[in-house]
Amino acid sequence: MAVAEEITEAGAADAPRRGNVWRRRLLTHLAIFLAIVTLWETGVRAGWLDELFFPRPTDILVSFWRIYISQGNVWYHLYISLGLVLAGFVGGSLLGVGLGAIVGFNPLMRRFLQPYVIVLEATPRIAVAPLLIAILGFGAQSKISIIVLVCFFAPFINTLSGVVNVSPEKLELFRSLGVSKLQTLRKLVLPDAVPVIMAGERLAMTAALTGVLVAEFIQRDVGIGSLILTYTRNLNMASAFACIFTLTIIGFAIFKGMEIADKRIAFWNHEEGRERLSARRRRAFEAKGRA
């Protein structure tokens, strides 16, 4: 009895203590962040840092206000850039996954295409970007094709390896059940490759963000990349930094978003995903009273 009471007391005391730890951690992070910002600010004011290249944090804050609210010009550029990212990512992914599945599932194709894949993988894709502009001209189509190019590879390689590395035991099971090739692809090979494909998509999404910047640096007209270029050339570093930090936030959001997408799509690889879907199936069964 005495022991039980002790345990309950300890348990009850545990919750606020955990809250304290969390709060203390947050405060530590905040303190370090403020220290860095203050150091930067004083560094510029004291003249240790060249203000031409390292604007004061307060100036960057003012630039944030200007480009987002008082002038509000960044929205249009973001809209253009993110549109390109989306188009390029979707295009590159579809192309990569589609070709990866076809090549992976077809041993003959794999044998003859393998050397080209290796050569292409060794070539920095960005090197082809000026060529693409020469072929397609200036404008959205050449920018999108640059993004497609940098996005394509990770999903392609991952789909290929996912399709090739499907377990031989499972393939034998499908063969013993007399399943057709197409059905085997649909019901076994592709779903089995989904976690690996998702890992490829995460790389592709990061590549897409880099890709759009490169595309906009090469042909400066609109977009967040062009905006950074313009601000830097005009020595408006505070606004350039505001744009860069904007991209930090977008990059982080993309990373998190892909993580969430992975947990939803390849749910069986995550404990909470399995539990969530398993419980949902059970509830649906109980509601219907039959399977």
Partner 1 sequence: MTNTAKDKADAAEVVVSGKGVGKTFAGGSVVALEGANFDIERGKFISLVGPSGCGKSTLLRLVAGLIDRSSGELKVHGTSVKGPRQDISMMFQKATLLEWRTAIENVLLPTEVHRKPTRDDRTRALELLGMVGLKDFAFSYPAQLSGGMQQRVALARLLQTGADILLLDEPFGALDEFTREHLNVELMRIQADVGATTLFVTHNISEAIFLADEVFVMTSRPGRIAKVVDVNLPRPRTLKMQVEAEFNHLVEEVREALGAF
Residue number, 70 or 288, with CB nearest to partner 1: 288
Report, in Å, the least distance between residue 98 CB and partner 1: 21
Residue 165 contacts partner 1 per CB under 8 A: no
Q: CA 63 to CA 272: how far, in whole Å?
A: 42
Q: CA 220 to CA 2: how far, in whole Å?
A: 75
Report, in Å, the least distance between residue 200 CB and partner 1: 18
Interface with partner 1 in residues 171-210 (CB under 8 A): 172-179, 183, 187-188, 191-192, 194
Report, in Å, the least distance between residue 267 CB and partner 1: 8
* CA distances in angstroms from 120 to 92, 111, 230, listed in the order given: 15, 15, 33
Helix and strand numbers, DSSP H then E, in the chain: 12, 0
**Positive or negative: CA dihedral 273, 200, 161, 96:** positive
Q: CA 103 to CA 161: how far, in whole Å?
A: 10
Residue number, 47 or 168, with CB nearest to partner 1: 168
- Say what the alpha-carbon torsion angle 245, 248, 253, 256 is, to the nearest 10 degrees: -150
Residue number, 248 or 278, with CB nearest to partner 1: 278
Selected range binding partner 1 among 36-44, 125-133, 221-229, 275-283, rule: CB under 8 A? 275-283
Residue 47 contacts partner 1 per CB under 8 A: no
Of 65, 76, 252, 285, the one binding partner 1 (CB under 8 A) is 285
Report, in Å, the least distance between residue 194 CB and partner 1: 7
- Rounded to 5°, the CA angle 171-156-106 comes to 40
The footprint of partner 1 (CB under 8 A) covers 167, 169-170, 172-179, 183, 187-188, 191-192, 194, 267-269, 271, 274-275, 277-279, 281-282, 285, 290-291
